[in-house]
Amino acid sequence: MRLGLKAGAGLLWLAASLCGGSNGASAQEVVDWPIHDNGLNQVVQWDHHSYIVNGERLFVFSGEVSSRTSIVVPELWRDLLEKVKAAGFNAFSIYNHWGYHNPTPGVLDFDTGAHNFTSIMTVAKELGIYLIIRPGPYVNAETNAGGFPLWLTTGEYGSLRNDDPRYTEAWTPYWSEISKIVTPHLVTNGGNVLMFQIENELNGQWVNIPNRVLNPPIANYMQLLQDSARENGIDVPLAHNAPNMRGFSWSKDFSNATGNVDVVGVDSYPSCWSCNLSECTGTNGQYTPYLTQDYYTYFTIQSPSQPNFLPEFQGGSYNPWGGPEGGCPGDIGADFANIFYRDLIYQRVTAISLYMMFGGTNWGWLACPVVASSYDYSSPVSENRIIGSKFYETKLLTLFTRVAKDLTKTERVGNGTGYTTNAAISTSELRNVDNDAAFYVVRHAYTPSNTNEAFKLSVKTSQGSFTIPQHGSSIAINGHQAKVLVTDFAFGEKTLLYSTAEVLSYIVVDGREVVALWLPEGEAGEFTVTGVTSAEVVGAANVADFAAYPGETNVTVAYTQKKGITLVDLADGSRVVLLDRTAAYLFWVPTLDNDPFAPANNTVFVQGPYLVRSASLNETDRGLDLRGDADKETTITVFASASLCSLTWNGKKLEILSRDGNTFTAKIDGPPKFELPALGPWKVHDSLPEIAAGYEATSDSWV
């Protein structure tokens, strides 16, 4: 974790001083960016646009899951990772703590109890979620000595984090062993470990950045770590997480110097990594709630032929001594998740890992003095593993990035306030370089603004340029919100020509597409689907002002979103699901297998429960078996194959209340009622008779 960043003038100075020395290109240039690999295999590749796994582009949406939890109960990993995957994430990351595994010189423990972390990698494979391993040797993470064993800090091993032979001899046994343990679980060996991070938050490659004057002790140290990892079997990309945008270290695009990794990223905590905001002013400057930062310029200079990658982006803040229970209040909740994570897409980021997704509790004296026992971190999954609005709000975007395949190969062709009819709104236009599909990210031009704004948006589509919406309403940005709006968005064999509602997800069921769109309650929406010419509401309409406008080859639908879920059937039997935010929060897209890419023809929709952990087909009963959690009796809506004969919830067969083609409803029970038993009879003995007013020091008083 740590160290936010203030870019601004520093980046402009560096850009000028480099005099065009980087490999960057303006957004308007057509560049044939090279596809890189590590020279060992082509299982995981990368380029300017995104990561590529087994030939398929991947928008990496990851979250850090604290290894502090495994130290107490490794069996809890499955619960946590099921929640991470249910939230739409396709990856997670973990730190490994050198001191925990190497408590004294010459003693390594990767076997006893929770020291054996292989179950984490095994469960990741079973669930179908990628893993980013971050073994240090230094990790920070608000742990004692940043993860170093305390025996290392005596001075006997030098100044540390350099190529001092004493320090090298100290880390080599731990580093070699953890590399060997991880190797069988790499994606190159059939596992799910996608990346291996070298060190953490270590600038210092340069004595002088503009003149590229190397700092050999630190550069050699980074190279020694990489060489050792490779020698011990690690053949996935080696990455690094820079602490801020000032160091320009370890990028092969920036230099060909010693110590460079395959892919470099940067971490950022724009709203402070601590609930005590004064801890961040030296790095971030004066705190302004909801003020976003410029990463796009930094990546253009530092790593233009690599994905825009944030190995740590703020998922919350740690709670210092005396801080509020449950983490920081206010401005790092659901609204933060909405605007800041969409702003990363505004800046063409295609690889994100939130720190933290789950923080948990500090056990075993691992915490450093700045934090107490709680490491809740205001995370989407709270310390007690409950999920709430921040989890649900984040899910609205992660589910979208999972199906927005064209988002993985875009350029930003423009940005600014000229796209809309309202100068208070800024737009970033990302356009796929192969098929011209576009993503328009709209937000306040001054992101701290909390005003309600209405506007129309100028878009360019395969059927021409025009302003949306076309039928009288407006797009709304209300308060601390942002939106990602699409044009020429492919879903199955169909295309959304445009939509002023955000896409949540889509599936393909029995050869027919089902696409889910969401809007806050009370806002107007409009979308056009190509290839069909009619649309009608099915059943109860939780929308107002519904109107369908048939065209020669398209149909346009306009509506105002009300509370709940509405089904709209298209002429060929495909279906559009319209949801307000509350209904979208409880909308789940479980996969039917363990493919992290979650193919649309092997997933289902479930709306209603507190949490859906998994879905699987039961071939014997031709049924769909759902697992999840319910906080109350709930009617659920399931979108799955019309050939299904049964539904189960946690092994209990459900009565199907209604079915309409590929849409079913059923009712699930709430949690069982629990009543405390009557305790007694009690046996009591006074252990302090001497405090009674009538006490006398006789032997009887002690009997």
Positions annotated as catalytic residues are 201, 312
Strand partners, 482: 443
- Name residue, tokens 């520093």: 10
**CB-based contacts of 546, cutoff 8 Å, min separation 6:** 537, 557, 558, 559
CB 561 within 8 A of CB 501: yes
Residue 229 phi/psi, 5-degree rounding, is -60, -45
The string of DSSP codes covering 293-329 is ---HHHHHHH-TTS--EEEEEES--B-BTTPPTTS--
- Say how many C-beta atoms besides its own lie within 10 A of residue 562's C-beta: 17
**DSSP element (H, E) containing 65:** strand 60-65
Three-class SS state of 199: coil
**CB-based contacts of 418, cutoff 8 Å, min separation 6:** none
d(CA 124, CA 185): 10
- Name residue, tokens 């950045």: 209
d(CA 298, CA 7): 8
Residue 692 phi/psi, 5-degree rounding, is -75, 145
> Which structure tokens are listed for 201?
């938050």
The string of DSSP codes covering 343-357 is HHHHTT--EEEEEEE
- Residue 665 Cα distances to 179, 294, 646, 662, angstroms: 49, 46, 11, 10
- Residue 52 Cα distances to 90, 92, 581, 696, angstroms: 14, 17, 32, 84
Three-class SS state of 488: strand
**DSSP element (H, E) containing 230:** helix 216-231
Distinct helix (H) and strand (E) counts, the chain: 12, 39
> Which structure tokens are listed for 700?
């009887």
**DSSP tag of 313:** E
**Which among 304, 355, 244 is positioned nearest to 8, based on CA atoms?**
244
Residue 204 phi/psi, 5-degree rounding, is 115, 10
CB 550 within 8 A of CB 519: no
d(CA 655, CA 604): 19
- Say how many C-beta atoms besides its own lie within 10 A of residue 34's C-beta: 11
**DSSP element (H, E) containing 504:** strand 502-509
CA 422 to chain centre: 31
**CB-based contacts of 465, cutoff 8 Å, min separation 6:** 458, 459
What angle do helix axes 76-86 and 118-127 make, rounded to 10 degrees? 40
CB 19 within 8 A of CB 11: no
Three-class SS state of 699: helix
